[in-house]
């Protein structure tokens, strides 16, 4: 498995840079992943990230855009503004989760 050093911690990642173990994640790693994605994290970004991690912890599945809208109360349009070019994929990566099902 490839590894990557993020925020001073060596973690295992897949070929696209997604963390393989969500427990390796912390907020410093999220900030570094966001910088790599060209995203400056705001409170709105953190709301999405924290919802995704909590939902994953409770359900064992990476939340879809529909779930983020319905259960998280985050409008789809806002998701696309916060995480352009694939909000589910980019948000999941920054949240330290795997690549969502159905993302190319």
Domain positions in the chain are 3-94
- pLDDT greater than 60 at residue 88: yes
Angle (deg, nearest 10), helices 27-37 and 87-94? 140
3-state secondary structure of 12: strand
Q: How confident is the model at residue 21 (pLDDT cuts 50, 70, 90)?
A: very high
Residues with catalytic function: 103
Cα separation of 82 and 78, whole Å? Answer: 6
How high is the pLDDT of residue 15?
Answer: 92
- Four-CA torsion 37, 93, 45, 26, nearest 10 degrees: -110
Q: What's this model's pTM, rounded to 2 decimal places? A: 0.93
At residue 1, the pLDDT reads 75
């Amino acid at each position: 498995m490839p590894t990557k050093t993020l925020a001073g911690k060596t973690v295992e990642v897949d070929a696209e840079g997604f963390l393989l173990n969500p427990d390796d994640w912390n907020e410093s790693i999220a900030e570094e992943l966001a910088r790599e994605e060209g995203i400056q994290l705001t409170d709105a970004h953190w709301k999405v990230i924290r919802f995704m991690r909590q939902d994953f912890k409770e359900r064992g599945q990476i939340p879809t855009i529909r779930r983020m809208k319905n259960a998280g109360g985050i409008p789809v349009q806002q998701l696309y503004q916060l995480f352009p070019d694939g909000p589910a994929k980019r948000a999941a990566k920054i949240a330290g989760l795997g690549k969502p099902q159905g993302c190319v």
